[in-house]
Amino acid sequence: MLDGLKDIIRKSSIHVCLVNTGGCNGCDIEVVALLSPRYDLEQYGIYVHNNPREADVILVTGAMAEQWRDKLQRIYAKTPEPKVVVTIGNCPLTGDVFNQEGCSVYAPVSDFIPVDAEVSGCPPRPTEILAALLAVGPDAIAARGRQKL
């Protein structure tokens, strides 16, 4: 019963940490647009918090600049279990236009930390980000919590 109760609570209280690892900012402002009354992220119980120590979901944007190669793993380690990683945009997938000769990016992000969901697009529409978050977030966090306990 306790598990069931925890599942319900966890599903409606998701804290999100947004980490830009070297993108153009476009995906970040689409996440900010998600907060707007039109998309209203908070009606699903999702709160963009930007604090890795309290987060359930890490949203990664950007193509892994040099400075993030060790820092991203540290942020991942600081985030408490259960956690979900969602990458937004083409940059964390392939490096997008930055991944050419002479660049200083080290995409993909999945080389560094395990990734649960990937949203492609440059940048993806806010609705797509929202759909991915809702598809992977609540249930995975509830299920992982059960495994852990």
Footprint of another protein on this chain (CB under 8 A)? 17-30, 32-33, 35-38, 49-52, 62-63, 65-68, 71, 75, 96-98, 100-105, 122-123, 125
Minimum distance from residue 126 beta carbon to another protein (Å): 8
Shortest distance in whole angstroms from residue 68 CB to another protein: 7
Which CB, 14 or 18, lies closer to another protein?
Answer: 18
The residue among 3 and 40 lying less far from another protein, judged by its C-beta, is 40
Report, in Å, the least distance between residue 72 CB and another protein.
10
Cβ proximity to another protein: between 8 and 32 the closer is 32
Secondary structure, 3-state, the chain: CHHHHHHHHHHCCEEEEEEECCCCCHHHHHHHHHCCCCCCHHHHCEEECCCHHHCCEEEEECCCECCHHHHHHHHHHHCCCCCEEEEECCHHHHCHHHCCCCCCECCCHHHCCCCCEEECCCCCCHHHHHHHHHHHHHHHHHHHHHHHC
